Chains A and B, each alone.
Chain A
Amino acid sequence: APHGPQLTYSQPNCDDPETEQAALAAVDYLNSHLQQGYKHVLNQIDKVKVWPRRPFGVIFELGVDTLESTCHVFDPTALANCTVRQVAEHAVEGDCDFRVLKQDGQFSVVFAKCDSSPDSAEDVRKVCPQCPLLAQLNDTRVVHAVEAALAAFNVQNNGSYFQLVETSRAQLVPLPPSTRVEFAIAATDCVAKEVADPAKCNLLAEKQYGFCKATVTEKLGGEEVAVTCTVFQPQPAAPQPQPADPTMSVLVAVDPPGPAFPPAGPPAAAMVVGPMV
């Protein structure tokens, strides 16, 4: 039960520097707890209330809009160097509520809840009438494109066999008929050139992730698979990722269909945030 005067909040300007600092700390927290999809950047602070907190400090209660970047959450690139996904690429927005404690000059997030949603088809069409929209990740063409691209990557790979972790986004392009996919992969204890049964391969204890972009184009009598994967340095127990390895690219013709892999994760629009306090 409160003693003395009731706690009252103040409402600073949403663009107040201290409010922005709290929002940036919250977005950093969000990105460090996302386990799939892409990092998000701060777009707009919708609302802010600042509550006194006993015995010390203040709590910022924030409403924040974010935008999806092109950096996958496994990509160690600093957020400041990640570009925002443009409307023509079918942007994805995040809508977040945060509570951020400021104490002794330090910000720490005590509550986070975010939902994300893709921009409307109408908005994309307004900017780019011919641009492909985001496709369902369980579309058979998407599933096949990811399988074919990963198989093509593993065939050209002299190291570990890589498994699919998630399909992150996909677009169906009408002309030329092709499927664009982006997906995350992880190294296993199998050697790519020797793998007989991918189901028996296990992820390495020191997780080594990668991120791939691929286009599978329908051709007469087959298809062309163009895939580029960036493999990141292995992650020790404390996740402090280092700069990325050189990019590996292959461009090969592959006869459909490729081998089976684990199912894709939920749609790109789903955003999973780690433990809430």
Chain B
Amino acid sequence: GVTQPGVAGAVGPMVLPPCPGRVRHFKV
């Protein structure tokens, strides 16, 4: 079978949500 190549999505800078921030140790 022959498949159509997928359409690549636009690649841009990854935007992280502003909050919550990073976990410094571990999450309880």
Contacts and interface: CB of A to CB of B under 8 A. Distances in A.
Interface of A: 11-15, 19-20, 41-48, 67, 84, 87, 91-93, 119, 123
Contact of A15 (B21, B26, B28): B21
Given A14-B20, A47-B19, 8 more contacts: A13-B16, A13-B21, A43-B26, A44-B27, A45-B19, A45-B21, A48-B19, A84-B25
Contacts of A45: 19-21
Contact of A11 (B18, B21, B23): B18
Interface string B8-24: 00000000101111111
B25 A13 contact: no
Nearest to B23: A44
Contacts of A67: 25-26, 28
A93 B25 CA distance: 11
A87 B22 CA distance: 18
Contacts of A84: 25
8 contacts: A19-B21, A43-B26, A45-B19, A45-B20, A48-B19, A67-B25, A84-B25, A119-B28
Size band of the interface chain B makes with A: 10 to 19
A42 B16 CA distance: 21
Contacts of B22: 15, 44
B20 to A, nearest CB: 5
Contacts of A48: 19
A67 B25 CA distance: 8
A87 B28 CA distance: 8
Contacts of B26: 43, 67, 87, 91
Contacts of B28: 67, 87, 91-93, 119, 123
Contacts of A93: 28
A209 to B, nearest CB: 27
List the 9 shortest-distance A-B pairs measured between CB atoms, nearest first. Answer: A14-B21, A93-B28, A14-B19, A15-B21, A45-B21, A13-B18, A46-B20, A119-B28, A84-B25
B18 A12 contact: yes
Contacts of A13: 16, 18-19, 21
A43 B22 CA distance: 8
A42 B18 contact: no
A188 B25 CA distance: 39
B18 A14 contact: yes
B14 to A, nearest CB: 14
Contacts of A14: 18-21
A11 B20 CA distance: 11
